[in-house]
Amino acid sequence: MPTASSKVTSRRLLSLLSLLQVRRDWPGMLLAQRLAVSERTVRRDVDRLRELGYPVQAVKGPEGGYRLDAGSELPPLLFDDEQAVALAVALRIAVGTGAGIEEAAARALATVRQVLPSRLRQRVDALEVTAVESAGRGADPQVDTAVLLALSAAVRSAEEVRLDYRSAAGPQDPGLRPARRVQPHHLVVRGGRWYLIGWDPERQDWRIYRADRMTLRVPNGPRFTPRQVPGGDVAAFLSARFKGADSANIWPCRGEVVLDLPAAQVAPFAGDGIVEELGPARTRLLTGSWSWAALAATLARFDTEIEVIGPDSLRDAFAALSRRAARAARPGS
């Protein structure tokens, strides 16, 4: 049966481990003061942690001290309450990342949950997350974790990657096409899909690639000098490209209309548009899309009277849309 002395030692070891995890270097004297023990006891406790697999290194210097370094194996970890809850929540929502780690995340969550105190387990269990498919498309494709790790390493080391890329039309024989050369700059996730933002040295332009369509070739290419995406903001740059714009994060086609609807009915479906209430049943909407035809069709979904303020390109798009709709309404069309 554990003695009182062994319980005290165990608690002190946990306290020492917790301190080593929150600061890179700890002078031995300061650790002794925090633990209310002698420096000799600190040295013995450090030796005990090493025996348990924790790579605690001695730090040379005027004061001396200790540092918890990375080791060859993963030792038992120690988290405070908030860290434990954050880790469990992150594992629970990992199913929506599309990174191909769902099974591993589920096993890790089961391991963490098993050792959580009941008060923390209740907080984690209270969070119910259901993965659903994105509207308008099937299940998000999974990306090989090895591909994500290889791309991330290439971004950090600024090395060109060589890859085969499948288009949306379907698979192609990589043997018939040379490998693409890409200078990877940012690996990002958006809407459950992973994208690589890279510079194409042959086209001398920025490109965005879906990671699930990549097949990497080895070895990597030469090192390159990193550059900044246009505008300097990665999120804004990616959003602009998805809107069909080259640089500014705005829709290439923007129009202004007045709808015979209350603003409260327009706002939930306005996306990033600007909604202005003009009256109990009249609303001004400034919004955009990647084409005038798409903008007219999007506005027509409101199923109400629409007054086009401008520009004329939007009026022309509505006229073309009405002609197509009239032809579609004819019998036998």
The yes-or-no verdict on residue 308 having pLDDT over 90 is yes
Confidence of residue 170 (pLDDT cuts 50, 70, 90): low
Instruction: Please give the pLDDT value at position 260.
Output: 93
Determine phi and psi for 213, rounding to 5 degrees: -100, 5
- β-strand 193-200 against 214-217: which pairing, if any? unpaired
Residue ranges of the alpha helices (H) in 135-291?
A: 145-157, 234-242, 263-266
pLDDT band at residue 1, thresholds of 50, 70 and 90? very low
Amino acid at position 233, single letter: D
- Cα–chain-centroid distance for residue 15? 34
Q: Provide the token pair at 288.
A: 């955009």
Q: Comparing 92 with 65, which gets the higher pLDDT?
A: 65
**What are the structure tokens assigned to 1, written together?**
């049966």
| Calpha distance 257→125 (Å, rounded) | 47
Long-range CB pairs of 225-234, under 8 A, 24+ apart, other chains included: 225/158, 226/158, 226/183, 226/185, 227/185, 227/199, 229/185, 229/186, 229/197, 230/206, 234/186, 234/188, 234/197
pLDDT tens, residue by residue, 190-222:
777 888 999 999 999 999 999 889 899 988 999
Tell how far CA 283 is from the center of its chain. Answer: 35
Q: Which pTM was predicted? A: 0.57
Q: What is the DSSP letter of 324?
A: H
Give the per-residue pLDDT at 322.
92
Q: Is 331 exposed, middle or buried (0-12, 13-18, 19+ CB in 10 A)?
A: exposed
Q: Supply the DSSP symbol for 159.
A: B
Burial of 69 (0-12, 13-18, 19+ CB in 10 A): exposed
Confidence of residue 54 (pLDDT cuts 50, 70, 90): confident
Average predicted confidence (pLDDT) for the chain = 81
Closest CA to 87 of 122, 117, 111, 112: 112
The candidate with the shortest Cα–Cα distance to 304, out of 270, 277, 253, 265, is 265
pLDDT score of 277: 87
Q: What is the pLDDT of residue 50?
A: 86
Kind and range of the H or E run holding 190? strand 180-190
Distance between CA atoms of 253 and 2, rounded to whole angstroms? 74
What band does 129 get if pLDDT is binned at 50, 70 and 90?
A: low
Q: Is 172 left (phi over 0), alpha (psi -120 to 50) or beta?
A: beta
The residue type of 128 is E
Instruction: Determine whether 30 is exposed, middle or buried from the number of CB atoms within 10 Å of its CB (0-12, 13-18, 19+).
Output: middle
* Peptide linkage before 27 cis (omega within 30 of 0): no
Please state, in angstroms and rounded to a whole number, the distance separating the CA atoms of residues 326 and 125.
55
234-288 confidence digits (pLDDT tens): 888 888 888 877 667 778 889 999 999 998 899 888 887 888 888 888 999 999 8
Contact at 8 Å (CB) between 309 and 287? Answer: no
The three-state (H, E, C) secondary structure of 196-227, written as one string? EEEEECCCCEEEEEEHHHEEEECCCCCECCCC
